[in-house]
Amino acid sequence: MTDEIYTDVAIVGGGPACCTAAIQLVRNGIEIKLISDDIGGKIRNANLIENLLGFPKGISGEDYVRILKNQYTEFKIPMIKGIAEEIKTFRERFIIRTAKKKIVCNHTIVGTGSIPIRMGIANEEEAFKKKNLYYENYNARKNVKGKSVLIIGSGDIAYDYAMNLKETANHISIVQRTKRTKSIPILQERVSRQTNISVLTNIVPEKIKFEHKKIILTGRRDDKIIPLMADTILVAIGREPNIGMLSPELLAAYEKEEDIPNIYYIGDVKKGNYRQVSIAMGDGMNAAMEIVKKTTAEEGNYGIRREIW
């Protein structure tokens, strides 16, 4: 039997955007439930976050997640552990379902982040199931010690992943589908200084083959077949908003950028947003303050200190 829970605000997701919103709402005495399987989100993928004020030497994604969890715990944020499988509207409210819970709320904040884009080549799914292929860096780095790794991609994510794995992997090859690198100059320069990282350009992946405990990525450069052997493949060709839990009605409105009252999209899931942690946190703060403004106006006190219910 599914447990039914009522709350004023449901926050779906556990990354920096959602935690920012949750803390601000709790500070304002608004009843919330945060729905996530964990705190931290995909920021744990990052090798080094350098553009977040307060960390002059930068901070790794894993270290930042530890700080985030400490602050989350300090504010005693109410959490429902699980993954949202459906979000839909119901009589001017919202219903969110996890495997074991049904949450009914007046306002919903969706910060479910992004999911990686797949290559769509032969045997990719089999390689993923066999744990020869990964899409998230924090999963891959647990299994690459002393191994050879192919990172597919040419942008910041691919280059950052390479820097993250350089201390554990034996050798890393960044495989670019084009000659042009899309990564920012500072990451390119850091990669170029590493003796165990090489960059291979103009190779379009076509299929994956298995040979004993190794995998062979077959690519094509112009008319020439290029076989690349490795232990592990890490795919970093891009990401897209994680919105599979939205009902058809909400999804249609999201795609058309139509406004549905009392639902807010923040962080990587926000349409047209840049994937930066500072922007994600700003989104979370903005959504929280909009809800506070709306709630206090409904109560007739317009933000004046009120009794916490």
**Equal fold, 3-115+239-299 vs 118-235:** yes
Percentage of the chain beyond pLDDT 70 is 95
Beta strands 148-152 and 171-175 are: parallel
pLDDT at 155 over 50: yes
Q: What is the pLDDT of residue 159?
A: 97
pLDDT digits (tens, 9 = 90+) for 177-196: 999 999 999 999 999 999 99
When pLDDT is averaged across residues 53-77 and rounded to a whole number, the result is: 93
Instruction: For residue 306, name the pLDDT band (cuts at 50, 70, 90).
Output: very low
pLDDT at 302 over 60: no
Kindly report the average pLDDT of the chain as a whole number.
93
Q: What is the pLDDT of residue 200?
A: 97
The hierarchical CATH code for the domain 118-235 is 3.50.50.60
Question: Cα dist. 129→1, 83, 125, 177, 206 in Å?
Answer: 32, 21, 6, 24, 18
Q: What is the pLDDT of residue 300?
A: 58
SS3 letters across the chain: CCEEEEEEEEEECCCHHHHHHHHHHHHCCCCEEEEECCCCHHHHHCCCECCCCCCCCCECHHHHHHHHHHHHHHCCCCEEECCCCEEEEECCEEEEECCCEEEEEEEEEECCCEEECCCCCECHHHHHHCCCEECCHHHHCCCCCCCEEEEECCCHHHHHHHHHHCCCCCEEEEECCCCCCCCCHHHHHHHHCCCCEEEECCCEEEEEEEECCEEEEEEEECCEEEEEEECEEEECCCEEECCCCECHHHHHHHHHCCCCCCEEECHHHCCCCCCCHHHHHHHHHHHHHHHHHHHHHHHCCCCCCCCCC
Residue boundaries of the structural domains of the chain: 3-115+239-299, 118-235
* Dist. CA 151–CA 133, nearest whole Å: 10
When pLDDT is averaged across residues 136-148 and rounded to a whole number, the result is: 93
Which CATH homologous superfamily contains domain 3-115+239-299?
Answer: FAD/NAD(P)-binding domain (3.50.50.60)
pLDDT digits (tens, 9 = 90+) for 84-127: 999 999 988 999 999 999 999 999 999 999 999 999 999 999 99
**Cα Dmax for the chain:** 72
SS3 letters across 62-118: HHHHHHHHHHHHHCCCCEEECCCCEEEEECCEEEEECCCEEEEEEEEEECCCEEECC
pLDDT at 248 over 60: yes
When pLDDT is averaged across residues 222-240 and rounded to a whole number, the result is: 95
When pLDDT is averaged across residues 207-218 and rounded to a whole number, the result is: 94
Q: What is the pLDDT of residue 295?
A: 85
Q: What is the pLDDT of residue 303?
A: 47
Q: What is the pLDDT of residue 68?
A: 93
Q: Are the C-beta atoms of 275 and 268 separated by less than 8 Å?
A: yes
When pLDDT is averaged across residues 208-232 and rounded to a whole number, the result is: 94
pTM: 0.90
Percentage of the chain beyond pLDDT 90 is 87
* Dist. CA 8–CA 81, nearest whole Å: 18
Q: What is the pLDDT of residue 305?
A: 47
